[in-house]
Amino acid sequence: MNPFQTELDVATLDYNKQLKLDLTAYFQATNPKIVILDMFTNGLISYYSNKLLKNVSQSMHLICNDALSFNTLLNAPSNLYDSPPHKPFVETTASFITKRYQTHIGIAIAGIHDIEVKENKIYIGYSFYNNTVSRIIECSGSPEIRYNQIINSVFGYLKMLFIKYPIIKKKE
């Protein structure tokens, strides 16, 4: 089992390195403004966002833990917050924060903790240059493994959005 774990760790490191290189290139080419609303990882997404996208974008990170902080910090309509989270909620929230803060990309992360069975169901909403999409991921394992799965999902799918919705800058 040890050789397999070593190979898995190396593959994860390589993936993170390649993901950082790809996202850095996309962000340098497009110079987007991005806002990330984290309602699940207590700031871990913000930490990794700074590591991945350091000095290549204008970004803002918000962390909300409940309906009160959500409505107060975002100055959101009272009917926007919904618990438990679901796909339409994260899509609407990502679109809302993109418009509220006048950014190109908005990401909303919410989820459901199931501590007893060590599983999480995560909802990720993206507002990407006026395209709104969402993803659901189910994570299991130790907290470290689950958070790694979430980080790779959030930024891996962001990379896929750059491929799916190419941004063509007009020459002036």
**How many Cβ atoms sit within 10 Å of the Cβ of residue 133?**
18
pLDDT score at 51: 79
Q: What would the two tokens of residue 111 be?
A: 């989820």
In a domain, 130, yes or no: yes
In a domain, 172, yes or no: no
Q: Dump pLDDT digits (tens) for 124-172.
A: 999 999 999 999 998 888 878 888 888 889 999 999 999 998 876 544 4
SS3 88: helix
Span of 31-35, 69-73, 151-155 with lowest mean pLDDT: 69-73
pLDDT score at 169: 57
Span of 55-69, 82-96, 144-158 with lowest mean pLDDT: 55-69
Strands of the sheet containing 58-63, edge to edge, are: 58-63, 33-38, 105-114, 119-128, 131-140
In a domain, 89, yes or no: yes
Report residue 13's pLDDT band, with 50, 70 and 90 as the boundaries.
very low
In a domain, 6, yes or no: yes
pLDDT score at 6: 46
Mean pLDDT over each residue of the chain, to the nearest integer = 83
In a domain, 170, yes or no: no
pLDDT at 89 over 80: yes
Residues 6+ apart with CB under 8 A from 52: 19, 20, 23, 24, 155
Cross-strand pairs, 84: none
In a domain, 106, yes or no: yes
Span of 20-24, 43-47, 55-59, 75-79 with lowest mean pLDDT: 55-59
Task: Tell me the C-alpha to C-alpha distance, in Å, between residue 88 and each of 83, 123, 137.
Answer: 12, 10, 15
Domain count, the chain: 1
- The CATH number covering residue 141 comes to 3.90.950.20
- Mean of pLDDT values over 42-55: 82
Contact (Cβ atoms closer than 8 angstroms) between residue 127 and residue 97:
yes
> Which of 29-33, 39-43, 76-80, 107-111 has maximum average pLDDT?
107-111
In a domain, 44, yes or no: yes
Query: Strand 105-114 and strand 58-63: pairing?
Result: unpaired
In a domain, 40, yes or no: yes
The residue segments making up the domain with residue 51 are: 2-164
Whose CA is closest to 131, among 91, 101, 80, 93?
91
Span of 10-24, 57-71, 100-114 with lowest mean pLDDT: 10-24
pTM to 2 decimal places: 0.84
